[in-house]
A and B are shown apart, each in its own frame.
Chain A
Amino acid sequence: MNKTVNQKAWFLILPVLVLVAFSAVIPLMTVVNYSVQDTFGNNQFFWAGIDWFREMMESERMWDALGRQIAFSAIILAIEIPLGIFVALNMPKRGFWASFCLVLMSLPLLIPWNVVGTIWQIFGRVDIGLLGYTLDAMGIDYNYTQNFYAAWVTVIVMDVWHWTSLVALLAYAGLQSIPDAYYQAAKIDQASRWAVFRFIELPKITGVLMIAILLRFMDSFMIYTEPFVVTGGGPGNSTTFLSIDLVKMALGQFDLGPAAAFSIMYYLVILLISYVFYTVMTNLDKRDGH
């Protein structure tokens, strides 16, 4: 069959092109524009080439923030994914308690980021916060404004509290789609609980788990509000993640050039990692086919 060739069809994508131009391309180009120029104010710009990029590549501050960021994302993924699966496995499958659990699980997801930050900021305070006061009364040295470990633990526990539900809900949806016959067959075959998980449940939820990992990775890699509200990036720079550092640089110090270069590199890193995820996921699908 011969395909009809009509180059005018390209016009059909024009609306999308316009929308994307305004929502993404033009703002992004502004950033690109800043990243290759220098200014001394007065809206006067000078060509700077790739100086800012070179500077950022050599900046210890940027590499430290990136290191902290990767550590943070890795830790919360390592906790939230297994924990989310575990919670999903133990949620009731049907009836009143199933709905109850679903609502309960969705609650943290409905709370705005800065409110989550505020909740934990107060919760962890040694003077008036329930958590901080209790830990302090138990003789544990806990102060997230001064202690490096306390700050990290607080930020991680907060993220786990906020987002494990998402993983659990996705995994739960995946588990619900497994027909009863699989569990019945497993009983007939005398499969152990572990074997049921390993050979029935896990393979069936791989798809949604990949989505959960991708979402949690992207979100945690871009995290800003919650740690900013709780620790403000401290003590010192110990919880200054990439976007906190970026905002400090761009708005705090008004170093638009370096911040723009930083933004672009940040963007490219996320793009790269998402691309790797995408490739892995589509390869998984292909493996399904044959």
Chain B
Amino acid sequence: MAKITLDNLAHSYLPNPQGEQDFALKELNHDWVDGEAYALLGSSGCGKSTLLNIISGLLHPSQGRILFDDKDVTHAPTTERNIAQVFQFPVVYDTMSVRDNLAFPLRNRGADAAYVRDRVQQIAQMIGMEEMLNRKARGLTADAKQKISLGRGMVREDVNALLFDEPLTVIDPHMKWELRTQLKSLHHEFGHTMIYVTHDQTEALTFADKVVVMYDGRVVQMGTPQELFERPEHTFVGYFIGSPGMNVLDATVSGDKAVLNGTEIPLGQGFGALSGKVELGVRPEFTRLTNGDTGLPVTVKRIEDVGRHKIVRADFNGTEINVIAEEGSSIPADANRIVFDPAGINIYADSWRVAPLGGK
């Protein structure tokens, strides 16, 4: 187990990157604290797998260093890093039995036979494959194969870090839940540093202590699920996390007031002079429909009842605004205004969050 430090790290798949746009992974400085569970969250092609492969040594970065416990391993091969990694699609050794598959990483490191036997038994129990230990891995379902891959990843106790590259993509939904819970309990039990790549926010938010959101080769925010929800540092975090995501509206801000297409909104906090493209972000959870005289004038387009609450899709001057109405709350039939809870409003300049004066 180790602390992993990324120092000035960047990667481009091109031999001679010209500008920032050529980098799949833009310059990055970051510490992964020993023993924490991280989720790397982002849409496809945002550089999360690139980052993971650099950490595991399958890819060598174009620039910067990577340190394990302050020891430079930038050019060390994968084997020296003592990392476990589970891939998106199951990798099993077809001709081996399930038992040999699980024992393979241990045997390659010359582990004691008795230890291997016990450890394999333990892992088999954890992934629920004790009965299948003696059969060949060939011909198993994708589910079962991926469980073997996960098991092979977890079988070594002394790894520096466990990396998961969207490991549950091929798994059945109910099994997903179960395996995720097992991974989490495994994390509590052994305290490995875990990095879990996913594009599924639920997976990220339930698995990790800290979620790292990536966008376009850049880490845009790192924080607890609550931080990501309440104070998205970037508009991408706002609309990528949450269902539906944050409403982002063009605005002009002066002092503690924002003006959206001629309508004035109180912000509750003051802001300094802003430059660039100014936007106001508010999560659907912090909005409410009314039929008074205050708030943004809107037209309600449709209402979706998703069980625990209703999602109202409203139109404000050509921009869609989503409102979440709690179950049981009534929506006025002639609702034509939306009001925002000032506590849930964030102001963005050029997509990045601006801290209010005197606040966080």
Q: Is A203 an interface residue (CB 8 A)?
A: yes
Nearest chain-A residue to B80 (Cβ)?
Answer: A190
Q: Is A215 an interface residue (CB 8 A)?
A: no
| A94, chain B: closest CB distance, angstroms | 13
CB <8 Å contact, A195 and B85 = no
Nearest chain-A residue to B110 (Cβ)?
Answer: A190
Among B79, B93, B139, B152, contact of A187 (Cβ-Cβ < 8 Å): B79
CB <8 Å contact, B108 and A195 = yes
CB <8 Å contact, A191 and B104 = yes
Tell me the A155-198 residues at the B interface (CB within 8 Å).
Answer: 179, 181-182, 184-185, 187-192, 195
CB <8 Å contact, B56 and A181 = no
Q: Point out the residues of chain A lying under 8 angstroms from B138, CB to CB.
A: 287-288
Nearest chain-B residue to A200 (Cβ)?
Answer: B93
Interface of A is mostly: helix
Q: Which of B84, B109, B138 has the most CB of A within 10 A?
A: B138
CB <8 Å contact, B58 and A190 = no
Among A182, A192, A195, A203, contact of B91 (Cβ-Cβ < 8 Å): A182
Q: Which of B77, B83, B88, B104 has the most CB of A within 10 A?
A: B104
Nearest chain-A residue to B100 (Cβ)?
Answer: A199
Q: Which of B53, B58, B77, B152 has the most CB of A within 10 A?
A: B58
Q: Is A289 an interface residue (CB 8 A)?
A: yes
Q: Point out the residues of chain B lying under 8 angstroms from A200, CB to CB.
A: 93
Given A188-B83, A189-B104, A199-B58 contact (CB < 8 Å) = no
Q: Which of A182, A187, A195, A203 has the most CB of B within 10 A?
A: A187
Among B58, B77, B152, contact of A184 (Cβ-Cβ < 8 Å): B58
CB <8 Å contact, B152 and A189 = yes
User: 1/0 per residue B93-113: CB within 8 Å of A?
Assistant: 111100000001100110000
Q: Is B87 an interface residue (CB 8 A)?
A: yes
| A231, chain B: closest CB distance, angstroms | 42
User: What's the Cα separation between A188 and B84 when bound, in Å?
Assistant: 6
Q: Is A290 an interface residue (CB 8 A)?
A: yes
| A177, chain B: closest CB distance, angstroms | 14
Among B79, B95, B105, B152, contact of A203 (Cβ-Cβ < 8 Å): B95
Q: Point out the residues of chain B lying under 8 angstroms from A189, CB to CB.
A: 104-105, 108, 152
CB <8 Å contact, A181 and B89 = yes
| B39, chain A: closest CB distance, angstroms | 20
Among A184, A192, A203, A287, contact of B87 (Cβ-Cβ < 8 Å): A184
User: What's the Cα separation between A204 and B93 when bound, in Å?
Assistant: 10
Nearest chain-B residue to A188 (Cβ)?
Answer: B85
Q: Is B235 an interface residue (CB 8 A)?
A: no
Nearest chain-A residue to B94 (Cβ)?
Answer: A203
User: What's the Cα separation between A188 and B164 when bound, in Å?
Assistant: 12
Q: Point out the residues of chain A lying under 8 angstroms from B351, CB to CB.
A: none
CB <8 Å contact, B87 and A181 = yes
Q: Point out the residues of chain B lying under 8 angstroms from A184, CB to CB.
A: 53, 56, 58, 78, 85, 87, 91
Q: Point out the residues of chain A lying under 8 angstroms from B56, CB to CB.
A: 184, 188
CB <8 Å contact, B78 and A187 = yes
Nearest chain-A residue to B59 (Cβ)?
Answer: A184
Q: Is B221 an interface residue (CB 8 A)?
A: no
| B37, chain A: closest CB distance, angstroms | 19
Q: Point out the residues of chain A lying under 8 angstroms from B87, CB to CB.
A: 181, 184-185
CB <8 Å contact, A185 and B139 = no
User: 1/0 per residue B285-321: CB within 8 Å of A?
Assistant: 0000000000000000000000000000000000000
Q: Is B12 an interface residue (CB 8 A)?
A: no
| A194, chain B: closest CB distance, angstroms | 11
| A280, chain B: closest CB distance, angstroms | 16
| B81, chain A: closest CB distance, angstroms | 9
Q: Point out the residues of chain B lying under 8 angstroms from A188, CB to CB.
A: 56, 78, 83-85, 105, 153
User: What's the Cα separation between A195 and B104 when bound, in Å?
Assistant: 10
Among B53, B91, B108, contact of A190 (Cβ-Cβ < 8 Å): B108
Q: Which of B93, B136, B152, B153 has the most CB of A within 10 A?
A: B93
User: What's the Cα separation between A289 and B83 when bound, in Å?
Assistant: 33
| A151, chain B: closest CB distance, angstroms | 41
CB <8 Å contact, B89 and A185 = no
User: What's the Cα separation between A200 and B95 when bound, in Å?
Assistant: 9
Nearest chain-B residue to A196 (Cβ)?
Answer: B93
Nearest chain-A residue to B165 (Cβ)?
Answer: A181
Nearest chain-A residue to B84 (Cβ)?
Answer: A188
| B146, chain A: closest CB distance, angstroms | 12
Q: Point out the residues of chain A lying under 8 angstroms from B108, CB to CB.
A: 189-192, 195
User: What's the Cα separation between A185 and B79 when bound, in Å?
Assistant: 11
Q: Which of B53, B89, B91 has the most CB of A within 10 A?
A: B91
Q: Across the A-B interface, give the 10 residue pairs with the lowest CB-CB distance, nearest first.
A: A185-B91, A189-B105, A190-B108, A187-B78, A199-B93, A181-B87, A203-B95, A190-B79, A188-B85, A203-B94
28 residue pairs bridging A and B, Cβ less than 8 Å apart:
A181-B87, A184-B78, A184-B87, A185-B91, A185-B149, A187-B58, A187-B79, A188-B56, A188-B78, A188-B83, A188-B85, A188-B105, A188-B153, A190-B79, A190-B108, A190-B109, A191-B108, A199-B93, A200-B93, A203-B93, A203-B94, A203-B95, A287-B136, A287-B138, A287-B139, A288-B138, A288-B139, A290-B139
A187-B58, A189-B105, A199-B96 given; name 5 further pairs at CB < 8 Å: A184-B91, A187-B77, A187-B79, A190-B105, A190-B108
Residue numbers of B with Cβ under 8 A of A are 53, 56-58, 77-79, 83-85, 87-89, 91, 93-96, 104-105, 108-109, 136, 138-139, 149, 152-153
